[in-house]
Amino acid sequence: MNRQPIVSLENVTKSYGGINALESANFELYPGEIHALAGENGAGKSTLCKLIAGVISPSDGTVRINGEVVKLSAPKDASERGISMVYQETSLVPQLTVAQNMVLGREKTFNSVRKVRNAARQVLQRLNFKVDPSQLAGSLSTAKRQMVEIARAVLNQAKVIIFDEPTAALTPEETDHLFDLMKTLQAEGVAMIFISHALEEALNHSDRISVLRNGKLVVTGNADEFDRGSLIHHMIGEELNEKMHVPAKRHEARSALPVLRVENVRMGSMVNNMSFSVFPGEITGIAGLIGSGRSEVAKVIMGHTKRNFGGGRIWLDGREVRYSLPAQAVADGIAYVSEDRKLDGFFDTLSISENIGLGWMAKFGRRALLAPLRKMRRISREWEGKLSIRSIGTDQSVLYLSGGNQQKVVIAKSLVQQPKLIIFDEPTRGVDVGAIAEIRQIVRQFAESGAGVILISSYLPEILDLSDRILVAKSGTIVADFPRADATATKILHAAIH
Ligand SMILES: Nc1ncnc2c1ncn2[C@@H]1O[C@H](COP(=O)(O)OP(=O)(O)OP(=O)(O)O)[C@@H](O)[C@H]1O
Ligand SMILES: [Mg+2]
C-alpha cells in the first residue's frame, strides 16, 4: 500500500506510573481498511485505540492523522477529525434518551428535538437496529447499548471507527449484520479498527491483523497470512496447549434432590411459566437467543427482579425461597456472575483484593469481619493467581484493569463465597483464549466439588463443551431439555428458533 495512512503511530508509548501499557508501538491505518487487533487480556489493545481516539495522550512518540502531526488531548479533538470510538464498556449516559446520546456533544447541529429523533431513527433503521430513539439509554440491554454506540459513530460520519470488542455482547445474527455493515462502510472509504477475542472474526473479517503482547505490537500482516495457530503463537509467545475442551463428568446416578427448583415462574413479558431443576455436581447449560428470558429468570432467582404476583415458586435445597434482595440470596449460598460487569459486577474504585474481600464479606458477614485482614489478603491473592488476574500493581483500583481482567475479578468475587449454586451469565465474554480455558476448568471443578452450576451463554460451542445437560429457553419458557450426549448445535438451534 503506497497510499498515505489516515492514522499512524510512530514509536508511541503510554506508561502509567512508569510501567508501559503500550511500548514504542508503530501502527498504520489506511482509508477503507478493516484492521483487527488481537492479544491477551491486558496486552494493550484498548490503550492503543484510546490513544487514537484522544481518550488518553501518549507519554512519548508521534501520532499523525493524514500525515499531519497531531496532539489529541480529548475525544473531541479526535471526533473533530472524524475519529469515533465504540467503547468496550459502554459510555452512554443512562438518564438521556437514545437519540440524545447519539448527538451528545453535537446538539448544535440539530435545532429541534424532532430533528434529533428523526436523524437518530434514520441511522438506526439503516443499520437495521431495533432500538427506539426515544427510550432512555439506561433501560437498554447490553447489546442494544452497543448498537446505539455504533449508530452514534455512523451518524457522526466518522472516517475512522474504532470498535473495542463490538461483538462480545451481540448474538450471532447481530454479529453477522455488524460485519456486513462494516463492509458497506469500508466501500465508502471508512477505515475501521476492531478488537476481538474471537480469532475467527479477525481472520475472516479483516484485511490486516496486528497482534499485541505485553504492551508491544509484535506483528502486523495481511489477514490471509495468519491462521488460528499462528495468531495464538504471536499472542502468547509460545504454543497454547488448548485445554479448551473440558471433559464431561462421569455420569454417576444423580442425587434425587435438586439444589434449585424453579416452577412456573413469571416476570413481566420476559419470563412465562419457566420451570426447571438444577442438580448438584452438574453444569446445567441454558441456551437460547437474546431476549429468551435466561438472564431475567436468573435475576428473579437472585431477588434482583421481582416476579409477578403469584408468579410461581422457587426452592433452594428443598426449602421454598423468595428473595427481595440479592444479599439474601448470597447469604443462602447463591452467587451470580452477571453479564454486565459494569452495572452490578464490582466496585470500580476499589482494588482487586478489596473487591474479592467484599465478595467474601457479603457471604460470611460477621464471621468475615473477625477474620484478620491478612487472611482476606491471602485469599484474594490466591484467586488472583488462580485466574491469572493481571494488573500493573496489586492495589490498583479495578477501574484501571483491562476489560478481560475486570471480568475475572467479578468471577473471583463470586467464587470466593463458596456458593452451593452459581449462575454464570456469559462468563467468558471479553476474556482471552488462554483465560477462557482457565475459567472453563474452574467452572468444571466447581461443579465437581458438588455445587450446582447454571451456565448461560450465547456461544453454543461453550454450552456444548461444558454442560452436562442443556436446556433451551425461548420466549420466556424452557422448550427443550437435552442430556449432553443427545445435544447437537442443530437440535439446540432448532428448539431455540422454531
Ligand atoms: N489508567 C490506567 N492506570 C493504570 N494502568 C492502566 C490504566 N489503563 C490501563 N492500564 C493497564 O494497562 C494494561 C493494558 O490495558 P488494556 O486495557 O490496553 O488491555 P487490553 O489489551 O485492552 O485487554 P482486554 O482484552 O482485557 O480488554 C493493563 O495491564 C492495564 O491494567
Ligand atoms: Mg480492552
CA of 253 to the centre of ligand 2 (A): 43
Q: Which of 39, 48, 40 is nearest to 20 (CA)?
A: 48
Atom of ligand 1 nearest to the CA of 48: 18
Report pLDDT digits (tens) over 197-236. 889 999 999 999 999 998 999 999 999 999 988 998 898 8
| pLDDT band with cut points at 50, 70 and 90 for residue 243 | very low
CA of 89 to the centre of ligand 1 (A): 13
The ligand placed nearest to the CA atom of residue 235 is 1
The ligand placed nearest to the CA atom of residue 17 is 1
CA Rg, the chain, in Å?
23
User: What pLDDT does residue 274 have?
Assistant: 96
Report pLDDT digits (tens) over 416-452. 888 999 999 988 877 887 778 788 888 888 898 899 9
Protein residue whose Cα sits closest to atom 28 of ligand 1: 42
Number of H helices, E strands in the chain: 17, 20
Does residue 356 carry a pLDDT above 70? yes
The ligand placed nearest to the CA atom of residue 217 is 1
User: What pLDDT does residue 17 have?
Assistant: 78
User: What pLDDT does residue 343 have?
Assistant: 52
| Dist. CA 330–CA 77, nearest whole Å | 46
CA of 284 to the centre of ligand 2 (A): 30
Domains, the chain, ordered by start: 7-236 (3.40.50.300), 260-497 (3.40.50.300)
Ligand 1 proximal residues by C-beta, below 6 Å: 16, 21, 39, 41-47, 88, 390-392, 400-405, 432
| Dist. CA 91–CA 97, nearest whole Å | 13
Q: Which of 382, 372, 379, 402 is nearest to 390 (CA)?
A: 402
